[in-house]
Structure 1
Amino acid sequence: MPRILIVEDEEIIRSALRKLLQHAGYEVAVAGSVDEADSGYELNDFDLIISDLRLPGAPGTELITRAAATPVLIMTSYASLRSAVDSMKMGAVEYIAKPFDHDEMLAAVAAILQRRQAPDQHAADAPEEPAGNDGTIDPSTIMYGKCDAMQKVFTLIRKVAPTETTVLIQGESGTGKELAARALHLLSPRAARPLISVNCAAIPESLIESELFGHEKGAFTGAVSARTGLIEAADGGSLFLDEIGELPPEAQARLLRVLQEGEIRKVGSTQSRQVDVRMIAATHRNLKAMTRTGEFREDLYYRLNVMQIRIPPLRERQGDILGLASRFLKRQGERMGKPGLNLSPEAMRALERHRWPGNVRELENAIERATILCDTDVITPGLLDLESEGGDVNIPETLVEGNNEQMRPRDNDATSDLSLEDYFQHFVLENQDRMSETELAQKLGISRKSLWERRQRLGIPRKKTTGS
């Protein structure tokens, strides 16, 4: 049985990860800091160390040198993504951004251990086997799907993964595009190298080029030292660009050169360097239509759209809904100390009737919420908190993240009779010509990513600004 050491100072994360790995059949030990791990265990006796990047005392990267014979997987928040890239340069075998997806974590662990057990056998040498009886892709358990549409996706992934072909993954938010990208990477000849994932919508436009391509010292105000870009960090591996339709024009032009010439040039540099990166992109937008309006470069679109994989929305996977719900229910029940939970027949029918605009992510959230609220062994429709107005229209999620007084319309406002989503649309359309995306998000009391997601859901076009 493989032995794994978790080094994490947050008790909730440490406990949840320990239970996840133990349930997957691993022997797990835990520590709250690098020094505690080093003094309490023989580090090289473990098959894998999973460590948070930022810990009390020494950082998690210190384990790379203290446990020279053991692979180290670094966990990091998006805010410290650059540090995670630096940690991979120092010798970390993989990084995962927090909050992590459970299937993503298990897949990464399985891939690292497989490489450790058979270092001379390339990951792509494994025979191509059909999806298992439980509907998961072999060899990892990344994605689930028994329906014909998902089986076609799995077949396409297995065929295109061993190639160097650029892949464009299309699908609505919450369908599992990042999991498909991870499957493509883990089934490719690049599985032993890093997979760098970037959400293009989550990075401010003024920083996107610096994040992707890196920058030289003094290239702009605040560039106090040279930094490696995410594309360079993925050298030899794969780069997953999620929501690529949100890239600004300048970054699109630079990315086209990477695809055409295989080279990058840091911001502020006159020198280019070659990179060997397999590109995987994803979007929920119609890039072809965006080329006609000038929002997306047509030449870049055709470079990206060599092989297209469409992840079907959950409403087109009727036969998978209860299977996914069962998997999520089992996982959440074990995490929360409520094993043996079951869905009532009425709850099952409610799940099957729901349209799932948020797709698999919405289903997982509904199951987690019901698990928390359930006081018996049976989950009823009320605990799922699905829409109650006929089935096709979802109740809007609360717009305000936390208590934000400025987002509450006053009684004497013209907007006082609007719903939260009506108010959001009214506010954005009224102010987007004079505010940047960051300013809009701050005024609304939400994150920039949440602003972008609500734009997509409500169909509010984004005004392209000429400044940063």
Structure 2
Amino acid sequence: MSRILIVEDESIIRSALRRLLERNSYSVDDAGSVDEATSQFNLNDYNLIISDLRLPGAPGTDLINLAKAVPVVIMTSYASMRSAVDAMKLGAVDYIAKPFDHEEILETIASIIKLRGGDDKTADRSAGAQLPENQMVGNCAAMRNLFSRIHKVARTDATVLIQGESGTGKELAARAIHQQSDRSGSPMVSVNCASIPETLIESELFGHEKGAFTGADSARNGLIEAANGGTLFLDEIGELPLEAQARLLRFLQEGEIRRVGAVKSTHVDVRLIAATHRNLKALAKTGEFREDLYYRLYVMELQMPPLRERGEDIIEIAQQFLQKSCEKLGSPLLSFSADACDTMIRYNWPGNVRELQNAIERAVILADDHHITTDLLGLDIESNSLAELESSFASGHSLVAETEIDLRERRPDQNLSLDDYFQRFVLENQDNMSETKLAKKLGISRKCLWERRQKLGIPRKSKEA
């Protein structure tokens, strides 16, 4: 039987929570403050500690360090993301907003105890014993706006175009739309247009008849037919060949498809959600993407914010990935150090959420202690693709402290773009500076210098000394 310690100064809440947990076969002790908890009980004897944030004397977050390997869940009546993020920065495994839902708190407890390897068999009966599938989380303004738009568009059959950088969770947004729609009981078929060879894309999407081409030994339904009644998600639609785009346009206009090699069309009832990291409007202007298809797709647009712009949402997402990685790898429940949390918020995340997930899984594999540190995450703050340098120039400031050069004096025209300034600086100094010294003077890595050279087409005029 798993043991839980409740630390709560309001006796009514403490008693109610104790009765709830005891009814669900947990062994429970309680205290009214941190001092009372540490003086009366051995914190290491428990599988979980649930503590209020604000207590008389020391705050509940002090229990995180005192309990060491024992997971701590923080309760707060303020229900603010700010206090929750602060608690998780200090190492709390989760937070609960008061007044709390009984089922929710039981699911949270069962999930945490199972991850830690507790012996509570009741944890297995709870829905919370299995962590939910990946889902979008966040409380920043951009995500709140995104959730609102998803909720509105899900109730319709409108075509949706999801735009955003690679790794921002475009497929998660598509799944959220499908799950909140009337089509949720029917299949959602996901297709990555970039992963299918150009010669096969039409056959894969629309199907083919027997003998339509060499190797077509039998008739085959396409992925659009497989999604009949449900949702078709076309990821990286910007990679779709022009001929396939024409067939897709007909499908959107008529609600019909014709298999490769077929004479008759087949009616289908499919909702289309498309996604891309490319600028389809620009591609349409250059003829690389059909303009009429672009406007057919552009009924409702959703913009996925990059991870670097989501502030403290990063910690909430990281916590979700940490729990999943611990379960997947059979690791004891870990927590992030305060320094690791600060690093994750400052890092530029060029790979977005996908990069965060991989960094955390790597850290869980390497962890020898109960905490995930910055070193384990393996993040290179220096190679942020010049993001910090761009920000510095945009605000008219220099990097004097880091680079030993007063860049403002070398950049008298404050209206000069960063690219123009970068090009001028490199061309003026590369004859008498090595690549290493150039990078150091600019306050960036050699890799960033090389990337910006490639982007701007700046040739190297001298070999590195």
Q: TM-score, normalization: structure 2?
A: 0.54
Q: Which residue does 1:180 correspond to in 2?
A: 173
Matches of 2:456 and 2:291 in 1, distance apart? 23
Q: Which amino acid aligns with 1:293?
A: T
Structure 2 runs not aligned, ≥5 long: 1-131, 388-445, 458-465
Q: Which residue does 2:184 correspond to in 1?
A: 191
Change (3 A) 1:148 1:261: same
Matches of 1:281 and 1:341 in 2, distance apart? 37
Structure 2 matches for 1:231-380, cutoff 5 A?
Answer: 231-380=224-373
Matches of 2:360 and 2:456 in 1, distance apart? 28
Query: Aligned to 2:312, what secondary structure does the other structure show?
Result: helix
Q: Which amino acid aligns with 2:305?
A: P
Matches of 1:423 and 1:335 in 2, distance apart? 38
Which piece of structure 1 moves more, 330-339 or 277-286?
330-339
Q: Does residue 225 in structure 1 map to residue 240 in structure 2?
A: no
After superposition, what is the alpha-carbon deviation per residue over 1:362-400, rounded to whole angstroms, capped at 9, x for unaligned?
001100000000111111111111115264469xxxxxx
Match of 1:157 among 141, 146, 150: 150
Q: Which residue does 1:136 correspond to in 2?
A: none
Q: Does residue 144 in structure 1 map to residue 137 in structure 2?
A: yes
Q: What is the total number of aligned residue pairs between the two structures?
A: 269
Runs of 4+ displaced beyond 4 Å: 390-394, 419-424
Matches of 1:219 and 1:421 in 2, distance apart? 50
Query: Radius of gyration: which is bigger?
Result: 2
Q: Which amino acid aligns with 2:135?
A: I
C-alpha displacement of 1:141: 6.9
Note if contact 2:256-2:265 (Cα within 8 Å) is conserved in structure 1. Answer: yes
Matches of 2:450 and 2:145 in 1, distance apart? 41
C-alpha displacement of 1:201: 0.4
Matches of 1:347 and 1:387 in 2, distance apart? 13
Note if contact 1:353-1:391 (Cα within 8 Å) is conserved in structure 2. Answer: no
Matches of 1:291 and 1:224 in 2, distance apart? 37
Match of 1:383 among 376, 385, 388: 376
| Higher RCO (Cα < 8 Å, 6 or more apart) | 2
Matches of 1:364 and 1:198 in 2, distance apart? 22
Q: How many percent of aligned residue pairs carry the same amino acid?
A: 63
After superposition, what is the alpha-carbon deviation per residue over 1:127-146, rounded to whole angstroms, capped at 9, x for unaligned?
xxxxxxxxxxxx99721111
Structure 2 matches for 1:54-73, cutoff 5 A?
Answer: none
Change (3 A) 1:209 1:327: same
Q: Which amino acid aligns with 1:161?
A: A
After superposition, what is the alpha-carbon deviation per residue over 1:409-445, rounded to whole angstroms, capped at 9, x for unaligned?
xxxxxxxxxx999999xxxx9xxxxxxxxxxxxxxxx
Matches of 2:224 and 2:247 in 1, distance apart? 11
Note if contact 2:162-2:302 (Cα within 8 Å) is conserved in structure 1. Answer: yes
After superposition, what is the alpha-carbon deviation per residue over 1:216-257, rounded to whole angstroms, capped at 9, x for unaligned?
111111111111000111111110000000000000000000
Q: Which amino acid aligns with 1:383?
A: L
Query: Aligned to 2:360, what secondary structure does the other structure show?
Result: helix
Query: Aligned to 1:157, what secondary structure does the other structure show?
Result: helix
Q: Which amino acid aligns with 1:205?
A: E
Matches of 2:456 and 2:182 in 1, distance apart? 39
Q: Which amino acid aligns with 1:157?
A: I
C-alpha displacement of 1:263: 0.5
After superposition, what is the alpha-carbon deviation per residue over 1:96-149, rounded to whole angstroms, capped at 9, x for unaligned?
xxxxxxxxxxxxxxxxxxxxxxxxxxxxxxxxxxxxxxxxxxx99721111111
Q: Which amino acid aligns with 1:339?
A: P
Q: Which amino acid aligns with 2:321?
A: F
Question: How large is the Cα RMSD of the aligned pairs?
Answer: 2.8
Q: Which amino acid aligns with 1:311?
A: M
Query: Aligned to 2:200, what secondary structure does the other structure show?
Result: helix
C-alpha displacement of 1:459: 11
Q: TM-score, normalization: structure 1?
A: 0.54
